[in-house]
Every structure is written in C-alpha cells, then in structure tokens.
Amino acid sequence: MKIDPASKSDLSAQIAAAIRDAIMQGDLIVDERLPSESELADQFRVSRPTVREALKRLAAQSLIRTQRGASGGAFVNRLSYPDAYAQQITTSTLLLSMNAVRFDTACEARYALERACAGLAAERRSPDHLATMRAEIHRQSQPGLSDEAFCASDVAFHRALVDAAKNPVLSYQLAGAVEAMQPLMNIITFTARSRERIVTLHTRIADALEARDGRSVDLSLRELADYTVSLADRVMQHRKQAS
Amino acid sequence: MKIDPASKSDLSAQIAAAIRDAIMQGDLIVDERLPSESELADQFRVSRPTVREALKRLAAQSLIRTQRGASGGAFVNRLSYPDAYAQQITTSTLLLSMNAVRFDTACEARYALERACAGLAAERRSPDHLATMRAEIHRQSQPGLSDEAFCASDVAFHRALVDAAKNPVLSYQLAGAVEAMQPLMNIITFTARSRERIVTLHTRIADALEARDGRSVDLSLRELADYTVSLADRVMQHRKQAS
DNA sequence: ACTTTTTTATTTGTCTGACATTTAAAAGTC
DNA sequence: GACTTTTAAATGTCAGACAAATAAAAAAGT
C-alpha cells in the first residue's frame, strides 16, 4: 500500500510523505481512520515515536486530526476554509518578512489581486457587504481612533470588498495576501498615512460598488494603490536621510 | 521567554505554537539556532519526544530545519519561495478536492487572478517570456501530443504569463492557484477541449503581450475563461444525461 | 425490560532511558 | 604546519512503560 525506500534520511518525513501522497491521491478519503500508531509502526517497520513524529507533521498541515480513547485514532481531516486561511497567512507572512520583499512589490501584488475582484464584486455585492463597508468607513472617520484600530478597520473594509465577489476560492487566496501585508502596511500607516484621503477613496469605492460600476471600482483601487506606494517611497526616503 | 499554560491538551502543539509565535514575532531570527532538544525539554518541563513532536510540526511548515552532529540542532529556516510554493500547492489542492468546489468557481477565481497580472505582464514582459510562450504554443499545436503533455504545456504557458509580470509575490500566489486547478482542468481537457481553439487564444495572448497591449491580453483571457467555463457546463450536462 | 453504573479494552499522550549516527572541533602525530 | 585520530555534542531511532481518555461491553439495580 505505501512503502518506503530505505534510501536516505529521516524516516518520519518519509512516512509523512507516504501518507500525504495517499491522501492527495484519494487512496484515503475524508474521515477515514488511519491504522493505529502501533499498526503503522509495524507496517513501516519503525518504532511508535517515529510514527508519531510523522503524524504530527501531518497534523501541523491540518491533514489529519487525532482522537484519544477507544475507537479513537488519526482521521483524515476535511481541510476547511478557516484552516486553509490560517496556513496561507502564516506562510505568506513569513515569506514576506523573511525575504526582504520590497514594500512596493508586495503592495503592487496586493492591489493587483484585489482589483481582480472588482468586476465580480460590482456585479454581485449584496446590501450586507455595502453595509459592512459603510460601517468601516464610518469607524475610520472617527477622530479618536487608534492606529491599530484604523488598520484593523482597513483590513475589514478590504475583506468585505473581496467577499463581495462571492467566490470562496478568491476570498481564500486574497485573505492570505491581505493579512500578510498587514505588518508592512502598519509601518506606513503609523507614520504618514492621511486618514482623510483614505476615507475619501474608500467612500468612492463603496459608491462605485453600490452603483455596480466595476470600472470605477477598479480606477479607485488603482488610485489607492498608487497613493500607498507613493507614501512608502516618501517614508523610505525619509529614513535614508535620517541614517 | 516562552511559557506554556497548563490549560488544556496536547503539549507538543502548545510548544510548537510558542516557538512559531516567537519566530513570527521576530524574537527568533533567520538562521538562529534553537536550544537543543534536551534543553528545550528542560525549559518546557516535558520529555524529549514531546519536544521532538513539536519540532517536527514546525519542520512540516518549513519553519525550521535540523542538522545532525556537533554544532547541529534546529535552526530557524528562511522560508524560500519554492518551499512556500510547495505548501501553497498542497493546501490549495486539498482545499479544492475536499470541499466540492464547483469547477466554474475555481475557474473564475483562477482567471480573475491571472487577469490581475495582464497589465503588468504587458508592461514588463521580456523576450525570454515571449519565447517560452511561443515555444509552448508550438508544442501545443503538434498533433501527436498526449493529453498529459498538452496540460503540462498549458500550465507552463500560463506560468510564463504570470512570471512576465515580474512580481515574485504575484507569482507565488498564482502558482498555487494554477497548480491546484490542474486536476480539475484535466477532467475537462481529456474530454471536450478543442486544442485548436486554445492554441488560437494562446497565440492572441502572446501577440497582445508582444505588442504590450494589456487591454487586449485581458480580453483574450476573459474569452479563454468563458470558453473554459462553457466547456465545463457542457461536460456536466453530458454527465447528468448519462446518469 | 429498561436504565444506570461499572468494568474493560483500545488508543493516543507522555515519560524514561538507551543506543546509533553524524559531524565539527579538539587532540594527537608525523 | 598539515594530516590523522579521537572525542563530544547533537539529532535520529528504538524499546518498554504508564497515564488518561473514551467508547463499548458487562453488570447491577429498579
């Protein structure tokens, strides 16, 4: 069923890969129970701790879940959207923070992706999405709002925009990109961002969405992107001068 | 430094979360060495196997790498683009295959994302990208080509289009989406897809890209998307009739 | 006969201790 | 000084044990 070439290193990684392949290939279906740890140990000719390490690897990717007790065991997990979001966010966040991705590169990518939703969102937006966006705009225009709260509201606004496209796959992809950008965005927000300008642009986007004018949404998003990038440039130049 | 509330279950998961947080927070930087497994065991007041399970969880997410021998240990890993790709692909593939995502939903998402690259790609495409695309088009028009090879070439073509935008973050996001769609796409291709039509549209895209006409690229992509979705509809209807 | 309680078996979670293997650095040798 | 050998530290793996949770079976009580 699943074998294991005695080639090179790390038995637990090999076992994890074998089980992962079986799941991806469809040999193991959702909610199916894997053999018990002891049985797997016998099957693969390794000890139980080694099997356990392999299972933990899979659990870390939400591929399996485990239950204790009689008739417990490891079960193939249905990968839910929230789980997938979470992993995408950690992966994307780390990728951006560890690879010295330039702010404008990330920003360009983010708004390009978001603009991909503009047309669909204009077609399909429901009153709920509009209400959410209006509410966030209102919150953003409150004078006493902290920087953190403003950023959170900003994310919620754009999240609503993406969700308005009513395509869960798009939402899933975009959630990772937007969330991962947040730390980078905060650097800008906390220094130079004009809330007034942002609120104006957000309002324009909401208006265009309400009018189901996809082209106008797209234009406003592009303007927002350009503004954000120009801000970033200014912040970077400022830093260069300071050092 | 990192503690561990004796609240609820699964020590290895808690420890993994603590270390993951430390990495994401920046308390542990790239290439920094974690304490040895024995030291971590002492620190968290657990046994070494438990620590090891936690470390394997992190290794599964490419957050750490391990080296044997003296001055070995677990090191914070720089998450590389290829590693991130790989994870994105497994996650996306499983998400799509396990959640009964409708083909047209996935297809819509894929082409929406790809169209997000159209403008940038038209601006920045290099002769290399064009050459790759032309070569793939040529391969696709060979009569003896197997279905598998045609699909692979299709992926390579679209990959080149995305890469032409010269934004690694976009490439990273799109690679996952496109690859994850492949199994679904194959269902269509192996039944009803007209290669001639595809090649014609691909050629039009390449021509528009050569002319740096972003708008035209976008239109051709939309046409390709519509064609693919209509094909899918036909295949589904055909199946419904058969059953 | 039906419900409640108790027992039991199974399975994961965790610990202890040991040995194997790899690898870099220290010690020794020419 | 360059080379070889030894050593120590670390991960990788194993074996066996006990704890804890849990569902099913068995027993008890009404």
The answer to whether the Cβ–Cβ distance between B105 and A23 falls below 8 Å is no
In a domain? residue A139: yes
Residues B186 and B222 grouped into a single domain: yes
In a domain, A224, yes or no: yes
Angle between helices B147-163 and B103-124 (to 10 degrees): 50
Residue A243: the pLDDT is 67
Total domain count for chain B?
Answer: 2
Shared-domain flag, residues A22 and A54: yes
Does the structure show a pLDDT above 70 at A210? yes
Q: How far apart are CA A18 and CA A26, in angstroms?
A: 12
- Say whether both A120 and A206 belong to one domain: yes
Q: Which residues of chain B have pLDDT under 50?
A: none
Whole-angstrom distance, CA of residue B119 vs CA of residue B220: 12
Q: How far is it, in rounded angstroms, from Cα A159 to Cα B101?
A: 21
CB contact under 8 A, A95 and B81: yes
Does B3 fall in a domain?
no
Closest CA to B238 of B188, B185, B197: B188
Domain boundary among A21, A56, A76: A76
Domain-located, residue A153: yes
Residue B107 in domain: yes
Verify whether the Cβ–Cβ distance B169 to A91 is below 8 Å.
Answer: no
Kindly state whether residue B1 falls inside one of the protein's structural domains. no
Per residue, the 3-state secondary structure of A59-82, as one string, reads HHCCCEEEECCCCCEEEECCCCHH
Q: Is the CB of A91 under 7 A from strand C?
A: no
Q: Could you read off the pLDDT of A10-69 as tens digits, one per residue?
A: 899 999 999 999 998 889 999 999 999 999 999 999 999 999 999 999 999 999 999 998
Helix axes A195-210, A103-124, angle to 10 degrees: 30
Cα R_g (chain A), whole angstroms: 23
User: Do residues A30 and A135 both lie within one domain?
Assistant: no
Residue A216 has pLDDT above 60, yes or no: yes
Asked if A36 and A113 sit in the same domain, the reply is no
Q: Choose the final residue of a domain: B76, B95, B127.
A: B76
Question: pLDDT band at A178, cuts 50/70/90?
Answer: confident
Q: Is A18 exposed, middle or buried (0-12, 13-18, 19+ CB in 10 A)?
A: middle
If asked whether residues B90 and B72 sit together in one domain, one would say no
Could you tell me if A226 and A107 lie in one domain? yes
Give the domain-ending residue among B33, B58, B76. B76
Same domain, B57 and B102: no
pLDDT top residue among A181 and A91: A91
B-chain CB neighbours of A23 within 8 Å are 94
What is the domain-level CATH number for residue A98?
1.20.120.530
Q: Which domain holds residue A28?
A: 11-76
Q: Assess whether B56 (CB) lies less than 7 A from strand C.
A: no
Q: Sign of torsion, CA B155 B161 B164 B167?
A: negative
Q: Does the residue A6 lie in any domain?
A: no
Task: Identify whether residues B62 and B110 lie together within a single domain.
Answer: no
B79 CA → D18 C1’, Å: 40
**Whether A105 and A186 share a structural domain:** yes
For an interface test with A, which of B94, B103, B171, B181 has the most A Cβ atoms less than 10 Å from its Cβ? Answer: B94
Taking the stretch 137-196 of protein chain A, residues with Cβ within 7 Å of any atom in nucleic acid chain C are none
Nearest residue by alpha-carbon distance to C1' of D24: A70
Please say whether the beta carbons of B174 and B218 come within 8 A.
no
Confirm whether A148 is domain-assigned.
Answer: yes
CATH number of the domain at B59, please.
1.10.10.10
Name, in order, each residue with C-beta under 8 angstroms of A97's C-beta and a sequence gap of 6 or more.
A183, B24, B26
Q: Which residue is nearest to nucleotide C9 (CA to C1')?
A: A70
Residue A10 DSSP code: -
Same domain, A54 and A162: no
Query: pLDDT digit string (tens) for A100-157?
Result: 788 888 888 889 989 989 999 999 999 999 999 999 999 999 988 888 888 889 889 9
Do A91 and B87 lie within an 8 Å CB cutoff? yes
Mean pLDDT calculated for residue range A210-223: 93
pTM of the model: 0.84
B106 & B219 share domain: yes
Closest-CA distance, B88 to chain A, in angstroms, reads 7
CA distance B147 to B136: 14
Nearest to B168 by CA among A232, A101, A230, A112: A101
